[in-house]
Amino acid sequence: MKYMLIMRSTPEADAAAAEIPFDEIIEAMGKYNESLIEAGVLLSAEGLAPVEEGFVVDFDSTPPVVSDGPYAEAKELFNGFWIIETATKEEAAEWASRCPLGAGVKLEVRRIQSLDEFDQDNEYIQREAEWRAENDVAKN
């Protein structure tokens, strides 16, 4: 099963992290990522650029409204993610709990649905399966 570990933090947690030398953060994350790689569970991991570089597309109106960051109303920001593949939900929780994050940071862990969980007679599911096969993208 694939899981996405979504790193979310508060402005207070970001301020606390700013007090830690960046090399220390990179070393801790590097060791964590290396352990995921060595265990054969890491599929992907990315950090995100600062919120000031982002934007939001709000679908409450037609046409949707695009707003630049930062987002004053945000209490938690999505800062990065890992995609791991484990045999069980418990194993995913174990890996998530090992992540070297500080107070005010949360990892939301969500299972990624596999393509075979959807109606296989659906034209768009069939097209996606074909695209995945052509581009050597995992089915799950």
pTM equals: 0.83
The average pLDDT across 77-92 equals 94
Q: How far apart are CA 126 and CA 63, in angstroms?
A: 30
Higher pLDDT, 44 or 71: 44
Categorize the per-residue pLDDT at 139 as very low, low, confident or very high, splitting at 50, 70 and 90. Answer: low
Q: What is the pLDDT of residue 70?
A: 64
Nearest 10 degrees: Cα torsion 67, 73, 75, 81: 0
Higher pLDDT, 15 or 40: 40
Look at the block and give the residue holding tokens 């790689």: 37
- Give one DSSP letter per residue of 81-138, joined into a string: EEEEE-SSHHHHHHHHHTS---TTEEEEEEEEPPGGGS-TT-HHHHHHHHHHHHTT--
Q: How far apart are CA 93 and CA 10, in angstroms?
A: 21
Q: How far apart are CA 39 and CA 51, in angstroms?
A: 32
Q: How far apart are CA 92 and CA 5, in angstroms?
A: 9
In tens, the pLDDT along 56-66 reads 888 999 999 99
Which secondary structure element, helix H or strand E, spans residue 48, and what is its range? none
Q: How far apart are CA 18 and CA 9, in angstroms?
A: 13
